[in-house]
Amino acid sequence: MPQPRKLHDRYFKQAKAEGYAARSAYKLLEIQEKRRLIRRNDAVLDLGCAPGSWLQVLDKHLGPKARIVGIDLSEVSADLSDRVVRLRGDIFATDPADFMAAAGFPDGSERRFDVLISDMAPNTTGHGDDFLSARLCERVLDLCAGLLRPGGNILMKILEGEPTPGVIARTKRMFALAGTTKPQASRDVSKELFIWGEGFKAPTAA
């Protein structure tokens, strides 16, 4: 007999106690502890940021010179400081220039984000969720060319399935180092996996 889903496990309760909008905060904290993908004063773009727990982690732990931008179709409900820029929009439709402007990068500047992160997931139906999730990850990888600095890092969630190896392979081609991890804060029954990449190999102009 399958085990009942534990809706109120220790990560849920810990998030409530510590003021995080969701348990996913501990996934980012654990991965950061292992990989150190984000430095203290980095410029970080959070794609699909609602309800805002990853933005809360960045807001709490990054330094005064850090730039923090998040975007989502839904409103961000998390308690955040004024330095966190929240955009409402679709990552497939938003002009990359809007992300640059939100970070305060001067027009025409070569400045880019140091890290792109994504905890996005599709509205799951049980049928084709892995393909929808892979499409979101492919969009994150597409955005790297215009938004991520050479040598920058990436972290994104994917729901495991048939297209997952292809997304991982593409990430490995684009980054000097890449791999996957599943943090303890992920539910045992969850199909989610996190793909990380270090050292973005930015495309060179022809």
The residues that are catalytic are 157
Instruction: Note whether 52 and 76 are within 8 A (CB).
Output: yes
Q: Which residues are bridge partners to 147 per DSSP?
A: none
Alpha-carbon distance values, 117 to 24, 100, 120 (Å):
13, 15, 9
| CA pair distance 3, 182, nearest whole angstrom | 20
| CA pair distance 138, 205, nearest whole angstrom | 21
| CA pair distance 92, 98, nearest whole angstrom | 13
